[in-house]
Amino acid sequence: MTDHVPTLNQQAVAVEPTLADVLQHLEAASNLSDSRRRDLKSAVSFVAKIWGAPANQIPLDVPAIAEKLDTVNPVARGMSAKRVSNARWGLMFALRHSGLKPGTLGGRNNKRLAPAWAALFDLQLSKRHSIGLSRLAHYCSREAVDPTAVDDRVIAALMTEVRETSLRRQIPKLHRETAKIWNELAADHPDLNLSTVSVPATKSLKTRVQMEELPESLREDYKNALSWFGGSDLFASGAREQPLSEGGLASFGNHVHAAIDALVKGGADPASLTSLAEVVTIDSVRRILRYRHEKADRKPSTFNTAIATVVVQIARDWVKVGDDQLTELKVLVAKLPRPKLAMTQKNRELLRQFDDPEVLRRMIALPGRLFAEAKKDPSQSKWTLAKLQSALAIAIGLAIPLRLSNLTILEFDRHLHLIDRPGAKSTFEMAGDE
């Protein structure tokens, strides 16, 4: 008796699902409204169009789809960036809903945190920390990793999961931000015994001469200079009268590092750079400017202008070169082409719309219209709240030119005091140090 060998048609062939399978699921799903079904199918079809192939020929390879979407230039294709973004998140929702790709990330994570992580989040973390570490907390809760066990390997594993199971953009940036926020938390709560993790360098920093490759004396001088410019000791003899802000100091250090990198790549022997005094000699600055000018294709560059400005600051305020050398440095730096300070074409076109009185009228009336629509909405959903927030933000922006960073931290009863009664006045307050 011989064994029966099935024919090819009878054999079970494992076929990877495609976008066509997602469309088929959406069509059959009974728990989707008609409008939601239409929007999700549109998102899937849009991705197929971007891919340039029929939906049944596009496998559900999340990293490959993410990479493809990242290469899309909306302007070149005659579409808005928002259209691409909506398609990205619509596809993720469709994948989760279909169940064809188990483990797909995205959306709100409503699962409970492990006790150790819940206790950590009960410490009244700042909004930056609670939002920035939410993904890490849920991942570690699922993988049974306590906060004290978080290290570089845990962060790297999280990023691998995000890369393989989501369409999240700029994962290297997410990695850097997660690592920085975790280190901030560890520094703010030393009693928790949290380990700090490595912060990945940006692409530009990876290609630079690393500070560790330079003489120790230069690294020490660089560190001391940043400490002085940042005003680490306000009462020290010779302390800087106006210390740089935290962000300003980070930018300053970045420009000094870029200058040293240009000097070495311009032909200087790294071993000869024993202090910042060697970085700001006439010959050194000439090398720096030549290298940076060539790197910018001999075109005006805002970054190069900033480097030149910082080099002069180091020479004048830290190294304290003589008047003759400082004058010669300024003459040398003045030869560097500087970009013209003008509004971009995109911004000019944006503002030109308001030359039309009707457009200006609609803009001024927009906050009131959004507020009225939100008050009439019986659902009182998160979208209602978003509409109210938009109305308030636009109204404030029309009256007070706030920075976006200030606008996003506003709180009721601290900055905004609203009185919703006829004839009453609402007030806005913000401290100078905010």
- Vertex 104, ends 100 and 105: CA angle to 5°? 155
Specify the pLDDT at position 3: 46
Q: How far apart are CA 108 and CA 131, in angstroms?
A: 12
Per-residue pLDDT averaged across 376-402, rounded? Answer: 83
Given a cut of 80, whether residue 206 has pLDDT beyond it is no
Please give the mean pLDDT across all residues of the chain: 86
Nearest in space to 97 (alpha carbons), one of 206, 195, 22 = 22
CA dihedral 359, 363, 365, 370 (to 10 degrees): 130
Specify the pLDDT at position 91: 87
* Segment of 101-105, 341-345, 379-383 carrying the highest mean pLDDT: 341-345
Given a cut of 90, whether residue 379 has pLDDT beyond it is no
Per-residue pLDDT averaged across 370-393, rounded? Answer: 82
The token duo for 269 is: 């022997």
Per-residue pLDDT averaged across 179-191, rounded? Answer: 91
Which segments of 53-183 are extended strands (E)? Answer: none
Which residues does 226 contact at the CB level (< 8 Å), separation at least 6?
A: 249, 252, 253, 256
Given a cut of 70, whether residue 109 has pLDDT beyond it is no
Lowest mean pLDDT among 72-86, 153-167, 248-262, 367-381: 72-86
Specify the pLDDT at position 76: 61
Q: What are phi and psi of 48, to 5 degrees?
A: -65, -40
- Vertex 265, ends 262 and 266: CA angle to 5°? 80
Given a cut of 90, whether residue 262 has pLDDT beyond it is yes
Q: Please give the C-alpha separations between residue 190 and each of 183, 184, 193, in angstroms, as whole numbers.
A: 11, 10, 6
- Vertex 59, ends 53 and 64: CA angle to 5°? 90
Per-residue pLDDT averaged across 423-431, rounded? Answer: 84
77 compared with 97, residue with greater pLDDT: 97
Specify the pLDDT at position 347: 85
Tell if the pTM clears 0.85, that is, is over it. Answer: no
Given a cut of 70, whether residue 110 has pLDDT beyond it is no
Given a cut of 50, whether residue 412 has pLDDT beyond it is yes
